[in-house]
Structure 1
Amino acid sequence: MTSNIKSLSEFIQATAPTISIIDCSPELIKEIQEILKIEVDGIVGPITKQAFADFKEDNQLEFPLLLGVTTAKELLEFKGKEETASKTNDSSNSQPKLNLDAGKRTGKSMKLPNGEVVYENQYIVEGIPLTWGEATKGCTRIPTISEYVQNAVRLAKVWGEVREKFGSPIIITSGYRPPQVNKAVGGVRNSQHLYFRALDMQPMNGDFKKLWEVLKDSQFVGLGDAVFMGRNKGFFHGDIRPGKRAIFPY
């Protein structure tokens, strides 16, 4: 059975039929998670769905949560390229790197509903280290409603206070999600990501405890704790939803 296949190589050799990653074996999921550089636990949670869907989108592959032979080959090819780069570059490692171009009007551009053109490395709000690229997956998820752009500005200001108090770089793992993307990654129907009111994040230095304390003392209204019960799921969620403070587990 396809669900018993334990590696991508085995999947390819068996010419296995396309399968949802939800139905893959834990061993196979762990290999995929290692390649995508996310927490390796063999569980298909929100961050795994998102990373897998993003990988398929980046490689122009259809059906965001389905694993077929073509996708398996792309994953292994990507793994090979990463290993080659690591061997030929002594300074290479799996840790995310700071964007040295952050704050500049460079990178891919997109046009906002009001006609303004913004750039991938440009800050959403001048002086706050959150770029349009970080919040829109490299300017590939273009907000089409003016209200969403206004939300983005408010979101950046709230996040900026968190970033200043935390005092160390924070990785944005998810920001604005159009409906089709939100559905693909398993987001809830009323997700705040749909309205450009939410960010998922990881502390680059690994200090989840401090980041959580800063988030609880912030102006974020909704807080999703994905680091709980002694298990690091890999990210926190913060949003500026209308209403009262809500803290929930992922």
Structure 2
Amino acid sequence: MSSQIKSLSEFIQANAPTISIIDGSPELIKEIQEILKIEVDGIVGSITKQAFADFKEDNQLKFPLLLGVTTAKELLDVKDQEEKASTTDDSSDSQPKLNPDAGTRTGKSMKLPNGEVVYENQYIVAGIPLTWGEATKGCTRIPTISEYVQNAVRLAKVWGKVREKFGSPIVITSGYRPPNVNKAVGGVRNSQHLYFRALDMQPMNGDFRKLWEVLEVSDFVGLGDAVFRGRNKGFFHGDIRPGTKTIFPY
């Protein structure tokens, strides 16, 4: 009977017995994959198994491949938090404008783990139009681990190729998120934003279709589509997670 259940809500309402996710229905697996931000295909492959096991470990739940009512509730809690959160944690009603000071050592400053002081309007990588301020909400989210700074440099280089190919300004709506910020905006517990490996973005000229076409062939490993296949939140997500190319609805 449990293998015929098609949603987490139904699983909880039925007080279904614990099952291996391998035995879950394709519809149930697709919902879990969407919550875990991995490819949604309804198939329990190695990536799904690992993401599910990581989720259970992060939430201090035993038995990495078993789905029970408690795990189903935890998964739905993440989904509910996302839906309640703002579409982007840095969104604003005002029309985004170009920053005339971008590329200069001006604005609010912050000290990186290696002692280097960087500025809000300073590019993360010289020549690539992505500032520290854009990626850290005005230098208010300070990375405290050297690895995160290295990730920021890698992220900027990948994003720079997208920006160059798109040929028009792109607004960054969310970048690095410390754990407290990620939790407040309803981010998943294993969000790539936590490690400075992700950017959410929207084209300033409104050409979402062209931007998506550029992203699909880019070096971003994880791509979140919140416009065409998602719930029309008005942004795309790109990250440099370890692994193979993954596209998921946001």
State the TM bucket, normalised to the shorter chain: 0.5 to 0.7
Q: Which amino acid in 2 is paired with 1:48?
A: T
| Distance (Å, rounded) in 2 between the aligned partners of 1:211 and 1:234 | 12
- 2:196 matched to 1:196? yes
Q: What residue number does 1:66 align with?
A: none
Q: Secondary structure at the match of 1:48?
A: coil
**Would the aligned equivalents of 2:88 and 2:173 in 1 still touch at CA under 8 Å?**
no
| Distance (Å, rounded) in 2 between the aligned partners of 1:49 and 1:173 | 6
- Number of residue pairs the alignment of both structures matches: 169
- Per the alignment, do residues 192 and 215 of structure 1 end up closer, same or farther by CA in structure 2, a change over 3 Å counting? same
Q: Which amino acid in 2 is paired with 1:135?
A: A
Q: What residue number does 2:240 align with?
A: 240
Q: Which amino acid in 2 is paired with 1:186?
A: G
Q: Which amino acid in 1 is paired with 2:223?
A: L
**Would the aligned equivalents of 2:88 and 2:174 in 1 still touch at CA under 8 Å?**
no
Q: Secondary structure at the match of 1:232?
A: coil
Q: What residue number does 1:106 align with?
A: 106
Once the two structures are superposed, residues 36-70 of structure 1 have per-residue CA deviations (whole angstroms, 9 ceiling, x without a partner) of: xxxxxxx955443624xx88xxxxxxxxxxxxxxx
Q: What residue number does 2:212 align with?
A: 212
- Per the alignment, do residues 240 and 230 of structure 1 end up closer, same or farther by CA in structure 2, a change over 3 Å counting? closer
In structure 1, the gaps of 5 or more residues are 1-42, 56-78, 80-93
**RMSD, aligned CA:** 1.9
Q: Secondary structure at the match of 1:227?
A: coil
Q: Which amino acid in 2 is paired with 1:111?
A: K
- Per the alignment, do residues 44 and 190 of structure 1 end up closer, same or farther by CA in structure 2, a change over 3 Å counting? closer
Q: What are the residue-to-residue correspondences of 1:1-250 with 2, within 5 Å?
A: 44=83, 46-48=85-87, 50-51=89-90, 94-229=94-229, 232-250=232-250
**Would the aligned equivalents of 1:49 and 1:186 in 2 still touch at CA under 8 Å?**
no
Once the two structures are superposed, residues 155-205 of structure 1 have per-residue CA deviations (whole angstroms, 9 ceiling, x without a partner) of: 000000000000000000000000000000000000000000000000000
**Would the aligned equivalents of 1:172 and 1:202 in 2 still touch at CA under 8 Å?**
yes
| Distance (Å, rounded) in 2 between the aligned partners of 1:154 and 1:112 | 16
State the shift of 1:233 in Å.
Answer: 1.3
| Distance (Å, rounded) in 2 between the aligned partners of 1:227 and 1:45 | 18
Greater relative contact order, per chain length (Cα 8 Å cut-off, separation 6+): 2
| Distance (Å, rounded) in 1 between the aligned partners of 2:204 and 2:86 | 16
Q: Secondary structure at the match of 1:234?
A: coil
| Distance (Å, rounded) in 2 between the aligned partners of 1:136 and 1:99 | 15
In structure 2, the gaps of 5 or more residues are 1-81
Q: Which amino acid in 1 is paired with 2:87?
A: T
- Per the alignment, do residues 45 and 127 of structure 1 end up closer, same or farther by CA in structure 2, a change over 3 Å counting? farther
| Distance (Å, rounded) in 1 between the aligned partners of 2:100 and 2:188 | 34
**Would the aligned equivalents of 2:166 and 2:211 in 1 still touch at CA under 8 Å?**
yes
Q: Secondary structure at the match of 1:104?
A: coil
- Per the alignment, do residues 47 and 243 of structure 1 end up closer, same or farther by CA in structure 2, a change over 3 Å counting? same
| Distance (Å, rounded) in 1 between the aligned partners of 2:247 and 2:86 | 18
State the shift of 1:231 in Å.
Answer: 5.7
| Distance (Å, rounded) in 1 between the aligned partners of 2:84 and 2:237 | 14
| Distance (Å, rounded) in 1 between the aligned partners of 2:83 and 2:145 | 32
